[in-house]
Amino acid sequence: MEIMDIKTQLANDLKDALRSRDEVRKRTVRMALSAIKLSEIDKGSPLDESAQMAVIQKEVKSRNESIADAQRAGRPDLTAAAQAEIAVLEGYLPKPFTPEELEALVRQAITEAGASSPAEMGKVMKILTPRLQGRATGAQVSQLVRQLLQ
C-alpha cells in the first residue's frame, strides 16, 4: 500500500466524515484542508509532506491556545470543542517522541555540535530541527537543550 500525503488523506477523510455525518471530524478536516490550501496559495506552489505537517501542527497549537483562552473565560463548551478538534488533528501527525527518545536525540546532537554552553544552543538546534519531523515541538526541544547545556 502506498503512503498518501496528508492532503490526500484529509480529502478522503472529509468524504468519510460527510457520509457518516461526523460534525467534529468534518469541521476539523475542512479547516485543516483550507489551512493547507491557504499556505499553498501564499507560497505559490504545492506544499511537501513536512510543510503540510507543519500546517497541521500550527493548527494544533492554535487549538491549545484556544483552550487556554476558553478556560480563562470559563467556557467548558469551547474547551471541549477545541480538545475534540485536537484529537482529530493529532491523527495526522506522527507519534511524538517519548521523553527518553527526545533526550537521547538531544544528547547526540550536543555531542555532534561539540556544544558545552547555552551560548552554543543555536548549533545544536540547527542539527536537531530536521530530525524532529513534527514529533516534538521547538519549545520542548529548546527547553531540553538549554537544560542539558547548563
* Residue 1 placed within a domain: no
What percentage of the chain reaches a pLDDT higher than 90? 46
Helices 6-20/23-43 angle, 10° precision: 150
C-alpha distances (whole Å) from 11 to each of 67, 70, 72, 128, 134 are 26, 29, 34, 31, 21
Question: What rounded mean pLDDT belongs to the chain?
Answer: 87
| 85 and 121, same domain (yes or no) | no
| Whole-number Å distance between alpha carbons of 12 and 113 | 43
Confidence at residue 73, expressed as pLDDT on a 0 to 100 scale: 93
Confidence at residue 136, expressed as pLDDT on a 0 to 100 scale: 79
Classify the phi-psi angles of 55: left when phi > 0, otherwise alpha if psi is within -120 to 50, otherwise beta. alpha
Among 6-15, 24-33, 76-85, 124-133, name the one with the lowest average pLDDT: 124-133
The residue type of 141 is: V
Confidence at residue 1, expressed as pLDDT on a 0 to 100 scale: 32
Q: Containing domain of residue 135, as a range?
A: 99-149
The number of distinct structural domains making up the chain is 2
| 65 and 122, same domain (yes or no) | no
Each residue of 15-57: pLDDT tens digit? 999 999 999 999 999 999 999 999 999 999 988 887 888 899 8
The residue type of 86 is: I
| Whole-number Å distance between alpha carbons of 58 and 147 | 25
| 58 and 129, same domain (yes or no) | no
Prediction pTM value: 0.72
Q: Read off the pLDDT of each residue in 56-82 and give the average, rounded to a whole number.
A: 93
